[in-house]
């Protein structure tokens, strides 16, 4: 590698810390191997830039270089040899790329360069595109039986989102590869869809079960009978045993949250209404 880290980064010997960091950032953007896979020349130039920053980005090493105590590779002058000495550029860090004064320069300088959010990507291959977030409101019944909703994406296109049975408010559904296109040639990001479930006037959720109130007539409560009830799964016939009271709870097996292989139940709480009762006749009967 070149013996002059100042020349490699393109800065003067009077450059301050900020100038050196800006110069290295510019070099990294132009030469980073993730952006130029297979380009050995750029990879080698990137190594040189990293080695130069390893010296100039470290105040103590920079002073030693300026005094002539170490060379451009960080090796003590006068000892020779091609190995990496203590304090020199170590190939162990980030698969061949050197570190700066405070550790890996990708941590303190390039943490946001490739969308790392404070840390850099360590895996092979170009970085994927950014994820995009959306919010959708769904009716209560869809959270019980599952369903489908169409949303408009940020690029103007529409996509159908499958709503799984049992989804809850605040839960996020991930749509693979429906996010932003990667500017680095990697796969696109994902779409993250946050779900909000609308309330229902008569149905409530209790884990994987559904609870509801069912009004019945006094006649049906006394003699028994069948009433039609509207459930998230559609209209059903509910058999009311004779002598039922307000507060009695009947169970409809498997009519709750429709999770495959373990559907919940629907619990119907009976409530007696006197709308169809001849109050005068009832009073006379009890008297």
User: 60 and 146 share a domain?
Assistant: no
Contact 87, 61 (CB under 8 A): yes
The pair of structure tokens assigned to 47 is: 């190594």
User: 68 and 100 share a domain?
Assistant: yes
User: 233 and 255 share a domain?
Assistant: yes
Task: Check residue 247 and report its DSSP letter.
Answer: T
Flag whether pLDDT at 78 surpasses 80.
no
Domain CATH for 44:
1.10.287.110
The pair of structure tokens assigned to 71 is: 């060379």
Burial of 250 (0-12, 13-18, 19+ CB in 10 A): middle
R_g of the chain, CA atoms, integer Å: 35
User: 101 and 13 share a domain?
Assistant: yes
Residue 43 lies in a domain: yes
Q: What are phi and psi of 8, to 5 degrees?
A: -65, -45
Instruction: Report d(CA 6, CA 151) in Å as an integer.
Output: 53
The pair of structure tokens assigned to 215 is: 């009004």
Return the H-helix or E-strand segment holding 133.
strand 132-138
Lowest mean pLDDT among 115-119, 182-186, 252-256: 115-119
Residue 48 lies in a domain: yes
User: 234 and 143 share a domain?
Assistant: no
pTM value? 0.53
Residue 127 lies in a domain: no
User: 10 and 95 share a domain?
Assistant: yes
**Cα–Cα–Cα angle for 43, 44, 45, rounded to 5 degrees:** 90
User: 24 and 88 share a domain?
Assistant: yes
User: 97 and 136 share a domain?
Assistant: no
Instruction: Report d(CA 154, CA 165) in Å as an integer.
Output: 26
User: 98 and 139 share a domain?
Assistant: no
Name the band, by pLDDT with cuts 50, 70 and 90, for residue 86: very low
Q: Tell me, what's the pLDDT at 124?
A: 53
Instruction: Report d(CA 170, CA 217) in Å as an integer.
Output: 39
Looking at 148, 171, 197, which one is the last position of a domain?
197
Looking at 174, 197, 220, which one is the last position of a domain?
197
Flag whether pLDDT at 119 surpasses 80.
no
Name the band, by pLDDT with cuts 50, 70 and 90, for residue 125: low
In this predicted model, what pLDDT tens digit does every residue of 41-75 receive, in sequence order? 888 888 888 888 888 988 888 988 888 888 887 77
Q: 247 lies in which domain range?
A: 203-286
Residue 121 lies in a domain: no
User: 268 and 235 share a domain?
Assistant: yes
Residue 272 lies in a domain: yes
Which segments of the chain does DSSP mark as H helices, in order? 5-9, 17-31, 40-56, 59-66, 105-108, 140-145, 218-223, 279-286
Looking at 197, 213, 239, which one is the last position of a domain?
197
Return the H-helix or E-strand segment holding 135.
strand 132-138
Residue 124 lies in a domain: no
In terms of pLDDT, which residue wins out, 32 or 267?
267
User: 182 and 143 share a domain?
Assistant: yes
In terms of pLDDT, which residue wins out, 90 or 273?
273
Flag whether pLDDT at 209 surpasses 60.
yes
User: 186 and 153 share a domain?
Assistant: yes
Domain CATH for 144:
2.60.260.20
3-state DSSP assignment of residue 76: strand
Residue 116 lies in a domain: no
In this predicted model, what pLDDT tens digit does every residue of 14-41 receive, in sequence order? 999 889 988 988 888 888 776 777 788 8
Domains of the chain: total: 3
Residue 117 lies in a domain: no
């Amino acid at each position: 590698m070149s013996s002059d880290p100042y020349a490699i980064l393109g800065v003067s010997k009077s450059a301050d810390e900020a100038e050196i960091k800006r110069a290295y950032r510019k070099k990294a953007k132009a030469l980073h191997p993730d952006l130029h896979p297979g380009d050995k020349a750029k990879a080698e130039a990137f190594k040189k830039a990293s080695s130069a920053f390893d010296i100039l980005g470290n105040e103590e090493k920079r002073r030693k270089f300026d005094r002539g105590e170490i060379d451009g590779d960080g090796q003590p002058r006068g000892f020779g040899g091609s190995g990496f000495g203590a304090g020199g550029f170590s190939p162990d860090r980030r698969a061949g790329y050197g570190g700066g004064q405070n550790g890996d320069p990708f941590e303190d300088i390039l943490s946001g360069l490739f969308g790392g959010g404070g840390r850099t990507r360590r895996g092979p291959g170009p970085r994927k595109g950014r994820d995009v977030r959306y919010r959708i409101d769904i009716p209560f019944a869809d959270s019980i039986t599952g369903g489908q909703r169409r949303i408009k994406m940020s690029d103007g296109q529409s996509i159908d989102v499958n709503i799984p049975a049992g989804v809850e408010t605040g839960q996020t559904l991930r749509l693979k590869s429906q996010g932003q296109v990667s500017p680095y040639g990697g796969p696109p990001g994902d779409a993250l869809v946050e779900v909000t479930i609308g309330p229902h006037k008569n149905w409530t959720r209790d884990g994987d079960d559904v609870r509801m109130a069912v009004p019945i007539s006094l006649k049906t409560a006394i003699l028994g009978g069948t009433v039609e009830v509207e459930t998230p799964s559609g209209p059903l016939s509910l058999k009311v045993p004779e002598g039922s009271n307000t507060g009695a709870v009947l169970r409809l097996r498997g009519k709750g949250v429709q999770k495959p292989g373990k559907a919940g139940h629907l619990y119907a709480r009976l409530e007696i209404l006197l709308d169809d009762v001849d109050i005068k006749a009832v009073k006379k009967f009890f008297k």
